[in-house]
Structure 1
Amino acid sequence: MQALRTRAACAARRARPTATTTTTTAPRTSRSYASESHGHDSHHHHHHHAPEVAEGLGPAFYVFAAAVPASYLAYSISRPGPDGEESSFSKWLRSFDYFNDWELRNALRSNMIEQAAHDKHLLNYAGKSTHVELKAPELLYSGSPWNVPAGFYPNLDHVTAHYHKQAVEEEERKVKLLQAKARAQEQEQKQETS
């Protein structure tokens, strides 16, 4: 687009009448600008023009020019026929196996969703292990290597038993709380239905 503007500006400058070509107009006064004078000699006016650069129209112009017929072609092949038959694009898509096996794909997806729901219920509602897993059980029996008589490490089984018992009590408390909530919801539902 820049190339078109540049050429239009050059053509407009050439089409202007100058003082030498018309005799009825007053002669133009010439102005001198600082950018025109080179050095002290202002009698010689050397006009240096910028070099001509051949600029193309750019890729956007060509993309737009190609998009117009491409969009018309896509529109025309996607329209149904005059008697209501399928478009040529639909016929071409039906030639692929992917679009013909939709019943099989739907059955496979349904089976996968049902299996995922089964697995979710299995994992969420299965009985939990009462074993308290320690990240590093060997740390219970480790101690300072200095000032400890050989073979003397305290037996800390009672500590493990204490925390195991505490975890069991906490799980029982949670189960009782959930059962109480379930009973309360059942009673609310019975009251709403009656």
Structure 2
Amino acid sequence: MQALRTRAACAARRARPNPTITTPRISRSYASESHSHGHDHHHHHAPEAAEGLGTAFYVFAAAIPVSYVAYSISRPGANGEESSLTKWMRNFDYFNDWELRNALRSNMIDQAAHDKHLLLHARTSAHVELKMPELLYAGSPWNVPAGHYANIDHVTEHYRQQAAAEEERRAKLLAARAKAAQEQQEQQKL
């Protein structure tokens, strides 16, 4: 009962005005009200505009019957026969050779997997030929005492001889192939 009396007293205190506050409340004025001298004149209203329902409404309204028609023609017949949409699509070659397309896709995926495996796990050659002998002498020109570059002319000469031997081997191989092709042409003429 005490809780009920406490709550009632609190509500009564809020309802009666406080005698210590004697200033009346000041109503606020706004800039939009300062221009008018009376309440009824100089009210500016937005012009009336005739707005239609918009494109979205008509698209939505048209989507309902279109979706019903699409659903009804995609359903199979009562006796398990094909739908009219399926019958119409059978007229196109694209939908008839699906087995061939699936086989081609499967072969393509298998080949791609094989190539990926081959490229990822193939060992690369660690042998690097000397392409530019000038790179042997490449180095910082600063802080190198005079005479401290090693003489590696013998290394450069080794790679020159190796390149010359390779060119000679290729020339002999090309000459042999040309001779074999010429003999084969002579035999075909006979």
TM-score by length of 2: 0.48
Bigger Cα Rg:
2
More helix by share: 2
TM-score by length of 1: 0.48
- Greater relative contact order, per chain length (Cα 8 Å cut-off, separation 6+): 1
